Structure 1
């Protein structure tokens, strides 16, 4: 029964995307079908085979080792600070972003990551029939944040019409940056965070390809990785990566202060009218129907829905911090579904981040992004639902 509900959820998600489509006649059904099958195979392989579980455990162990290295650097700076029970979130989680950003910067300078991303994107493009730029951007969005992913294809922006701009923006919003995956792993079960990365890449492409189908001439579809890094040496790459990571950590901290405080304010106002009611609870009831279809148990769907709704109206960190306190009281299936849903940038604040990035690349196209901002958020949220439902089918 759960699997039938999951399949129904996938059909509803694709149906909603179809209703939102800009050009239903140009939808690449073959490519979408291939990516759906790829998601099913990936999830099945990772969760039900020994090899898949070994791969997840190996990657998780690798991240944990990197977290250990990063913690040494953090400890050197703040080792004398007396932490409260359970640690200090800024020191124990956010500052690790600096180390991960440094590694990504060095791998980019050495052309290791760009080359891997280019060829993975090329394979996806060849198999699915999607344009190379969009495929490259989708893979790139697994490793880099929304702004960095879009900046990497800035030389192709003059070729991007409205639909192509929607697809690259959706990929940026539907994924997460590898620089903050280490922080997520400190709050959520590693296996679900790691499987969410490839699933979200495919989900973003699937939903965006339905909503904004494209057909691109070969002469307008070229990926160039020559200028992905302006660093002159590996030491400059390390320094710039560290600075970028520091900025991300501070931005996340600032957003958490703003959103958590604002959430408390909204809850206080709501309780003036309805005592004991919170925005999270209201969101839980709103999301409950789709949550049940995704595979969440009826007895847990209000709690799970509240976390999922919190992520949409604030950001994934606020939701993860809330969800972390619930992990001991929920079933493994609910934990897996919600964890995958949370592992993306699909929230209101991302609209402004993407529009601001595009503004710096091409001011005219920034207006287009702002114009389809809500459609972008809805599409990215549907992508998160699709990924989470896929995981629910195998738990």
Structure 2
């Protein structure tokens, strides 16, 4: 019974959000409903693989691999948080220790902020080495082919899963001047729909600490739980933001990067 209640609640939420976007659309007749349905379908399918992975695995073991990938990424993020904690303890000493609810200010200043700095630096290194671009380009290619969106907006929205909304447009900087209004809105909505890697890590650290204290469970277990949930939500938000953007401002022109996925690697 609880499953059906949750399903109904989620369905109503999706319907209301789509209805609001439709009401404020600047050209309702030009909405590409195939794109919208495909984007929402991608979000729902990904959610099913994450939430019901064990049931799907019992049917066919290969169906469990998406959740395994997310679990591995979540564990990797928590391991990085451990490195950050050790670094903060080395630099700040006892100030980096969390002594309870009364030490929230110290916790934010000497644990959360170093986490944001560390993850931002790590992201910059991965970008410089070209590793981040490969991951982003692969995911953007999938979204571009399935949804029919332009290469530039697909790249930017996919990059928002890993970096912030100020860094993601830098990947498509040469194309911004010639982008359509629909593409520009898509980039802005995609940036607001996801969170940067550094901010995600800080949320994992803060929420994990509070959840572990409240439920008397190991900190690492709590952090992995939130890492999986936040990472999955960020991935699901990418196609969903495209759907909302294309309802509010349908594509009326021919994008310069239509059908192509190219990104610029600027190491200066």
Q: Are 1:181 and 2:200 matched, yes or no?
A: yes
**The one of 79, 82, 99 aligned to 1:65:** 79
Query: How far apart are 1:85 and its partner, in Å?
Result: 2.1
1:93-172 superposed matches below 5 A: 93-172=112-191
Does residue 196 of the first structure (1) align with residue 233 of the second (2)? yes
In structure 2, distance between residues paired with 1:128 and 1:95: 38
Corresponding residue number in structure 2 for 1:228: 266
Structure 1 unaligned regions, length at least 5:
231-395
Tell whether 2:81 aligns with 1:44.
no
The two structures have a TM-score, normalised by structure 2, of 0.79
Out of 249, 255, 260, the residue aligned to residue 212 of structure 1 is 249
Task: For residues 71-101 of structure 1, give each alpha carbon's deviation from its aligned partner in whole angstroms, at most 9, with x where no partner exists.
Answer: 1221111014375622522212221112111
Shift of 1:151: 2.6
1:105-151 C-alpha deviation (Å, 9 max, x unpaired)? 11101111112212311221111111111111110111111111123
Q: Distance in 2 between matches of 1:24 and 1:121?
A: 26
**Residues in 2 aligned to 1:64 and 1:82: alpha-carbon distance in whole angstroms:** 17
In the alignment, does 2:27 pair up with 1:8? no
Q: Which moved more, 1:186-195 or 1:22-31?
A: 186-195
Structure number with greater CO (CA < 8 Å, separation at least 6) is: 2
Aligned-partner Cα distance in 1 for 2:157–2:130: 18
Query: Partners in 1 of 2:201 and 2:257 — Cα distance?
Result: 36
Aligned residues of 1:167 and 1:209 also touching (Cα < 8 A): yes
User: Counterparts of 1:55 and 1:118 in 2: how far apart (Å)?
Assistant: 18
1:160 to partner: Cα distance: 1.9
1:76 aligns with 2:90: yes
3-state secondary structure, aligned to 1:143: coil
Separation in structure 2 between the aligned mates of residue 106 and residue 84 of structure 1, nearest angstrom:
29
Q: How many residues align structurally?
A: 230
* Structural mapping, 1:238-277, within 5 Å: none
Alpha-carbon spacing, 1:28–1:80, altered in 2? closer, same or farther (3 Å):
same
Q: Which stretch has the larger CA shift, 164-173 or 154-163?
A: 154-163
- Cα distance in 2 for partners of 1:223, 1:55 equals 24
Between the aligned partners of 2:96 and 2:193, the Cα distance in structure 1 is 37
Shift of 1:196: 0.7
Any idea what the Cα deviations from partners look like across 1:212-232, whole Å, max 9, x if unmatched?
Answer: 1115536454554333332xx
Structure-2 residue corresponding to 1:29: 33
Q: CA RMSD in A?
A: 2.0
Partners of 2:184 and 2:163 in 1: CA distance: 18
The 1:56/1:223 distance shift into structure 2, 3 A limit, reads closer
* Residue matched to 1:326: none
Taking structure 1 as reference, are residues 82 and 17 closer, same or farther at Cα in structure 2, changes over 3 Å only?
A: closer
Alignment partner for residue 89 of structure 1, among 108, 111, 125? 108
**Which aligned pairs between 1:383-394 and structure 2 lie closer than 5 A?**
none
Question: Contact 2:151–2:262 (CA<8 Å) still a contact in 1?
Answer: no
Gaps of 5+ in 2: 55-63, 208-225
TM-score normalised by structure 1 residue count: 0.54
Distance 2:126 2:252 in 1: 33
Displacement of 1:187 after TM fit? 2.7
Distance in 2 separating the partners of 1:166 and 1:219 = 16
Per-residue Cα deviation, 1:174-218 (whole angstroms, up to 9, x for no partner): 111112221111133333212111111122111111101115536
Tell me if structure 1 keeps the 8 A contact 2:143–2:154: yes
The 3 A distance-change label for structure 1 pair 111 and 215 is farther
